[in-house]
Amino acid sequence: MKGSGQNQDLTLSQQLLFLKANPAVGGEGTVRANKLTWQVPIQPSALARSYLATITYRLGQTPNVQLAAIIHEASVFGAGSLFPAPSVSEE
């Protein structure tokens, strides 16, 4: 509790509750097997492809972020299919 001078970490359930309650944060999530998973659709600009960002987090570890492109139009993969976004390498 902050008022008592102690620095306590938030539980995964508390973090999920705050994410759901924050009007600036879209998406949905779950806590299962000591892992918080949050998924949110994103589109960098009106003309850009849509992506599904999936963030997974375990207490004491670095969050893992994955992006998958969402195919809206009919294609070989089928409408609404997901496939990994191309990776960006720093050169």
pLDDT in tens, 16-43: 999 999 999 899 999 999 999 999 999 8
DSSP string, the chain: -GGGT---PPPHHHHHHHHHH-TT---EEEEETTEEEEEEEE-SSTTSPEEEEEEEE-TTS--EEEEEEE--S--TT-TT-EEEPPP----
pLDDT in tens, 61-70: 999 999 998 7
| Predicted TM-score of the model (pTM) | 0.69
* pLDDT tier, 74 (very low <50, low <70, confident <90, very high otherwise): low
What integer pLDDT is reported at residue 21 of this predicted model? 95
